[in-house]
Structure 1
Amino acid sequence: MRFLDEERSWNLLRDKVFEQQSCPAEFERIGRKIAKSCGGLPLAIAVAAGILTNCNRTQHHWLKIARNITLAVATNDDQISKILTLSYDHLPWQLKACFLYMGGFPEDYNIPVSKLTKLWVAEGFLEPNGPKSLEELAEEYLEDLIKRNLVLIIRKRSNGKIRFCGLHDLLRDLCIQKARMKEFFHVTNNSARDIQNQRRLSIHFDISDGLLDKCACASPIRSMLVFRSSVASLSFLRGFRLLRVLDLLRTVLLFMPPEITQLFFLRFLALTGRLKVPPSISKLQNLQTLMIRMYRWETGDSILFLPIEIWEMRQLRHLIVFEGSMLPTPLAAAPSGRRVLENLQTLFVDNFKFTSNAIEMMPNLKKLKVYYCDVFTAVWAKYCLSNLVHLCLLETLSLMFRPVGLEVNPFPANFALPSTLQKLTLTDCALPWQDMAVIHSLPNLEVLKLRDDAFMGEKWECSEGEFPRLKFLLMELLNLKCWQVESSHFPRLERLIIKRCWRLDEIPCEIGDIPTLELIEVPIGLGRKSAADSAVLIQEEQRSLGNDLLQVRIHSK
């Protein structure tokens, strides 16, 4: 580990706490003392800064924290451990549970934030707060832990939200230590004694099913996260009747064990395998999240046919089948005054028909991803996609079609999308560029991804009033040759990513005049003239005008 001298230690602490602001003189003396107590360890300094950032900014509170850190490191040679413990002790009780839970993931594991927040909700760690959804509250909790420098950002999404997060090894060790002391969760090591009387299990190693069978009788276990690749049997589940969380996403199952549908208290269920979901899945009336990844065998059918009884699961918030699924359309509208899946926020399925009845059944849907594998151009009408406009809370939409060759597949007449959309991904839709008029005026759209002939044609001519809030634009594998655009068409664009658009001659120089633009990313050109060359020219012109913020990245893909 690289140590910092006193001056660099103070600079790091100051920058973490005050960011772009100057440090008041009355805090500098105390801050330097705290930085010195951290012994030049960057992680300890960052965590100490997290404590200071979240306390009242008064000399009294800073002096109190300085005394606590000084006392902690004075009583033990392990300075960093004491400082990390002190930071944990300063957490509100809700954040303590969320932070400890992350220690159940394997070392150096990239934790998917979308999954982590669903687990926190299922575990009941969150305190409802007014109109905010539990998922929104979970994201705020995570951001709080990040601001305290207890959680690392691994990768962000195109909209700036966090996609993967993780823990420093020392902070993960702290989580495991505290969790063991509080009997909060346990990482298994193939010992029955260690498993008994635990509330949460995180299984990272091979553990015999017989051992779990012995522990299953009247087991208090509420949660089981499994990170090994296979299991011989899940018969032990018969004894784990109180399970709330069962995560088997990294475990390949040959079939869906019938014991699962007997777990009445289950809130989170994640499975991988060539599975058949029985109608009895509707017995899980407390289930909030159902995630299924179909395992593709060399032969045989790999389509998951979901039962129509799914529509009876009133608590379901997230139905995610990663690929190869068929969800039947509800046969009739919901009874008057009752919306069956009114809690449903996320839906990932294939070939789904958005009838008026279906739309009525899920009025609060926020995230939708659908793949259509029909090879013809009437997909929009056959699957009632014109009804999508009635999903009044939809924020994220991804539509993927099976390639139809060179045939253009226009929107139906009077087609519209929900004005609430913030992120839109289109793949293989084969739309004509004239149909961009449906998209460009969406008032809240911030992210647009066009992939694999999402639009067909050599020329995209933009017009006034387009994309008022768009921040991120991806164009990938389009046959676009000429792009006519003015800076006013994308007034808030921050990132322009172009991948494998080999026919695109150049990026219009007007793109460089967008005041918010931070990044242009383009592939290496294959011909004499390329988009990469024009991107370099745009950067050079902007630098000559005093704009040093614009970055250009040229990649080989």
Structure 2
Amino acid sequence: MLQNCKGLPLAITVLAGLLAIKDTVEEWNTVHKNVYEYIRRGTDLGPDYKGEAYEGVSWLLELSYDNLPYYLELCFLYLTHFPEDYEIPVSTLTKLWMAEGFISSASAEVMEDVSYRCLSELVGRCMVQVGKHGSSQKIKTCHLHDLMRDLCMLKAKEGNFVHIINYSVVAKIKETPNGRVRRLAIYLDKTLGKYALGKDENYGHVRSLLYFFPGKYFKNSKVLWSLFKNFTLLRVLKFEGMYVGECKLHHEIGNLVHLRFLSVKNSAILAVPSSIANLVCLQTLDLRVRYLGIEIPNGNVFSKMEKLRHIYLPKYHSARKKHLLFATEAVNLHTVVNVCIQASDLDDFVKLTNLRKLGVITFDSGLWEKEKGTNIIFKHLQSLSVDSVSEAVPWNIVLSCPNIYKLRLDGRITELPENLLCLTNLTKLTLKGINNLKDDHIKVLEKLPSLRMLFLDNWDTPVTFRGPLVCSKGGFPFLEFLSLRYFKELKEWKVEKGAMPSLCRLHIHYCSALKAVPDGLQYITTLKELTIKSMPSKFCRQLQEGGEDFYKIQHVQSVII
């Protein structure tokens, strides 16, 4: 079998992935027979996919595809939506699979875990490649090898699984679908003068509509909101990063009563209509738009969405100081981001026993201080983000989440309590708004037993950390990534020999008063990447070859200044 791979790495890994899930000799014999069966059927998958390299492995790729169970076949074909070389966010992909109905969970296992396991199985079969890992070592992004993508597109086209309208390739604009289209992916070009997707007899049954475009934003005001009239059967609408003028989300969004997934993330939207309350089937709602002060009609607009699992609100919206209500039956909520809460709201949130990710905005620190003695425990929470508007961070919320692995705090941070060490699972920590912490507070950070990623950011902080910053021997034993940003008054940073023994990546950004990198960096043999950004020219010259500090970082493989 290996001889037939012709030395191509993709073929070898795909064959290995296929055999890895076979447990008996008989199953291996079946694969062996099928290999030669596929060779006899021919190696060419079609006139559009010719080429010596591809012909050498096409039989093997097709064998791997035919070996997929039906639910994985659907998940694999769905990857056709994404453009070539696109880094697919796994969090988004798994939610899309759920919205499409590919994922079912008859047992007590939650759908999000089943969906992620499907991705892991495709990776294990070497049909999907891993891009990045997150702080918890779960897969964060993924993509398809070019040859695997060719196969995916071919199979999707054969089954009329998805139709792609590519406005960035002129020759494909006029390509018409075969029969009814259920799923539509649209690639927009930033130079496109006019764009409109009108009602078409082949598009009347579209269930899924995903937009993609080059660059960060699509700045064209001709994108028609009439799709809310013409595509009333939609289950999925991904309409991210669209700049269509300063507009409101059209009230006819309420017509799309079958929607399960709606994302207008990074789009230029000023207001959300009250008709959004009609979308009672929504599982995922992402309203993290570009503008500050977006209008949300009232607090109970989400109260009818009993199937809601993931909701992302804008960070700045008109309902910030209102009490946002969710359906009392919304026990399936896994993600709630950018919700404004008061101390008394914690009782409501602790009832959401499936909640894994929570992002809150707090006001009135005096009220939080009175609630310090709360006994509420969020046992299931894995990720917590707290924004304290012009206030001290309410530590009682943080210490109520003993099992979190990801924590982000933005506010006036004047202390780090000793009992922060009870967060034994914490792997990623972001602190924004650090004031003059004492040395014993820094030592609390050093002792966090599982910490692997630490982001210290003082952007837009009136009173900044002056230091000195001391990393002592044996401190940060498992830290792999450290980022220092906007510590404008930090002059001295010391790293003792034996500190941060696992550090791989270090970023220093806009610490203008820092005179030099610490001597202790020369002892951190694991350091592979150093990025210096927006630092004084003298600081940078010292690090270059021949500079007085070059000896400290000469062992680092990648130095980016």
Residue in 2 that maps onto 1:23: none
Residue in 2 that maps onto 1:270: 263
CA-to-aligned-CA distance 1:152-210 (integer Å, 9 cap, x gap): 33344455444332222332222222123333222246679727522222223589756
Residue in 2 that maps onto 1:319: 311
Unpaired stretches in structure 2, ≥5 consecutive residues: 45-54, 166-171, 365-386
Secondary structure, aligned partner of 1:316: coil
Secondary structure, aligned partner of 2:270: coil
Residue in 2 that maps onto 1:482: 492
Residue in 1 that maps onto 2:275: 280
Correspondence for 1:233 among 200, 224, 227: 224
1:246 Cα deviation (Å)? Answer: 0.8
CA-to-aligned-CA distance 1:58-115 (integer Å, 9 cap, x gap): 5544443233223323432433322211111122322211111001112222222221
- Give distance in 2, aligned partners of 1:414 and 1:311: 39
Identity score, percent: 30
Secondary structure, aligned partner of 2:72: helix
Quick check: 1:410–1:430 contact (8 Å CA) kept in 2?
yes
CA-to-aligned-CA distance 1:308-355 (integer Å, 9 cap, x gap): 125523333222356544553564999xxx9565433334438x3453
Number of equivalences: 493
Query: CA, structure 1 residues 151+539, in 2 after alignment: closer, same or farther (shift >3 Å)?
Result: same
Correspondence for 1:44 among 11, 14, 17: 11
**5 Å matches for 1:318-357?**
318-321=310-313, 324-325=316-317, 327-328=319-320, 331=323, 341-349=330-338, 352-357=340-345
Quick check: 1:353–1:383 contact (8 Å CA) kept in 2?
no
Secondary structure, aligned partner of 1:187: strand
Q: Counterpart of 1:426 in structure 2: which amino acid?
A: L
Quick check: 1:332–1:357 contact (8 Å CA) kept in 2?
no
- Give distance in 2, aligned partners of 1:326 and 1:267: 25
- Give distance in 1, aligned partners of 2:317 and 2:115: 28
**5 Å matches for 1:319-468?**
319-321=311-313, 324-325=316-317, 327-328=319-320, 331=323, 341-349=330-338, 352-358=340-346, 360-361=348-349, 363=352, 364-368=354-358, 379=389, 381=391, 384=394, 386-391=396-401, 394-400=404-410, 410-411=414-415, 419=423, 421-430=426-435, 432-434=437-439, 435-436=441-442, 439-452=445-458, 456-462=465-471, 467=476
Secondary structure, aligned partner of 2:262: strand
1:469 Cα deviation (Å)? Answer: 5.0
Higher helix share: 1
- Give distance in 1, aligned partners of 2:556 and 2:108: 39
Query: CA, structure 1 residues 470+315, in 2 after alignment: closer, same or farther (shift >3 Å)?
Result: farther
TM-score, structure 2 length as denominator?
A: 0.73
- Give distance in 2, aligned partners of 1:511 and 1:326: 51
Q: Are 1:292 and 2:259 counterparts?
A: no
- Give distance in 2, aligned partners of 1:487 and 1:128: 51
Q: Are 1:145 and 2:155 counterparts?
A: no
Q: Counterpart of 2:414 in structure 1: which amino acid?
A: P
Q: Counterpart of 2:160 in structure 1: which amino acid?
A: E
- Give distance in 1, aligned partners of 2:81 and 2:529: 39
1:258 Cα deviation (Å)? Answer: 1.9
Secondary structure, aligned partner of 1:427: strand
Query: CA, structure 1 residues 241+87, in 2 after alignment: closer, same or farther (shift >3 Å)?
Result: same
Secondary structure, aligned partner of 2:199: helix
Query: CA, structure 1 residues 73+431, in 2 after alignment: closer, same or farther (shift >3 Å)?
Result: farther
TM-score, structure 1 length as denominator?
A: 0.74
Residue in 1 that maps onto 2:103: 126
